[in-house]
Amino acid sequence: MADPIPLTVEFTGGLEMLFSDQRKHKISIPGQDEDGSASNVAYLIHWLCDNLMKDPRKEMFVLDDSVRPGVLVLINDSDWELEGEANYELQPNDNVVFVSTLHGG
């Protein structure tokens, strides 16, 4: 059994509203998913929906098994597209930020 992975996750751009109005959360997720694979960002997104998100409006965060359009995922200050997207395997103390894009002006 792999060790749990401690992470910092942050929600911004309005997404914090869905997570008890709290921007920064220190969490610890299992080191492996149900299939025994190393926990990646796809697993983290599921885990957050099941364990951290109290708000019932799941569709404001996920759509078709990934984050909804208009939400950026940033891993250690880089766009997740530079890190392998949902397949990025999480490392202890990674910082994962979920940002909803803003349109006002």
Using CB under 8 A, pick the residue from 6, 14, 84, 92 that binds another protein: 14
CB atoms within 10 A of CB 92: 11
CB of 56 to another protein, least distance (A): 4
Does position 84 bind another protein by CB under 8 A? no
**Interface with another protein in residues 44-63 (CB under 8 A):** 55-57, 59-60, 63
| Nearest distance in Å: CB 17, another protein | 9
Short-list 12, 105, 31, 19, CA closest to 57: 19
Considering only CA atoms, which of 9, 2, 3 is closest in space to residue 93?
A: 9
